[in-house]
Amino acid sequence: MTRILTALGLLAGLTLASTPALAAGEARPPRDGHFSFAHIFGTFDRAAAQRGFQVYKEVCAACHSMRLLSFRNLLEIGLSEQQVRAIAASVEVTDGPNEEGQMFQRPGRLSDRFPSPFPNEQAARAANNGAYPPDLSVIIKARHNGANYVYSLLTGYQDPPPGVQLGDGMHYNPYFPGGQIAMASVLNEGQVEFADGTPATVDQMARDVVTFLAWAAEPETEQRRRMGIRVMIFLAVAGVLAYGVKRRVWAELKTKPA
């Protein structure tokens, strides 16, 4: 029940203060992003996940936290220890108390968790017109068809159709229930500069950040799938052996005189 309530809380945060009437509306089904991790034998594209982390760091982290992720976890998407140490050290972390009983600031370490952009919920709401930006650590799992939903949402902003009146501070996105969402479009062409030279189109940035968020939500996905495949192979072999033994035993029984 606690996990269900947590997921519902994340979904409520993602609405970013949409009105109840709009939340009850129908949303357009999300587009299929054809992500590499989406099928049973799928794996995470490490290059895409690294670019997605850059998009999160340079764009999303201004409002959204990822409190369940530590800097050392970035080693799992292929970043070197030197790179991750540099990323962590670029952040000031509150620590202490020291020998004088005072809290102090220090550069981040591998073991530190990602910092929150705001000191508390009240500050976050004050900076976002009363809305509370949700933590993105498990946002992909908190939404049905989460990867395709977030991808469609990030790339789905458009002008409202004739006859649709937007509320104050709202933006039109057909992939959001009710079509109106308080979160503005956050991705723009060329907004980041990828180290590998990949063009930073809106679609590319959306795909990459979704890949990173999907990995962050379930970093054990690949290991679990590999284990599942091994178990299925073992069961298949065991089944064949059991069937062979059964046939041999019954064949001997049938040939014995009554």
Mean pLDDT score, 149-177: 91
Residue 9 has pLDDT above 60, yes or no: no
Which residues lie across from 180 on neighbouring strands? 172
- Give just the sign of the alpha carbon dihedral 73, 97, 57, 125: positive
Query: What is the structure's pLDDT at 127?
Result: 85
Tell me which amino acid residue 189 is: E
Q: Which of 258, 195, 161 is nearest to 55 (CA)?
A: 195
Percent of the chain with pLDDT over 90: 52
Mean pLDDT score, 158-176: 89
Q: How do strand 92-95 and strand 171-172 relate by DSSP bridges?
A: unpaired
pTM above 0.75, yes or no: yes
Note whether 181 and 170 are within 8 A (CB): yes
Query: What is the structure's pLDDT at 17?
Result: 38
Q: Which of 86, 210, 105 is nearest to 147 (CA)?
A: 210
Written as one string, the DSSP assignment of 207-250 is HHHHHHHHHHH-TTHHHHHHHHHHHHHHHHHHHHHHHHHHHHHH
Alpha carbon distance, N-terminus to C-terminus of the chain: 61
Length of the chain: 258
Query: What is the structure's pLDDT at 20?
Result: 39
3-state helix, strand, coil in the chain (%, to 5): 45, 5, 50
pLDDT band at 221 (very low <50, low <70, confident <90, very high): confident
Tell me which amino acid residue 250 is: W
Residue 109 has pLDDT above 90, yes or no: yes
Rounded CA gap, 164 and 172, in Å? 9
- Give 74's DSSP letter: G
Structure tokens at 41: 């034998």
Query: What is the structure's pLDDT at 253?
Result: 67
Residue 256's alpha-carbon distances to 27, 204, 242, 243, 253, in angstroms, are: 70, 71, 22, 20, 5
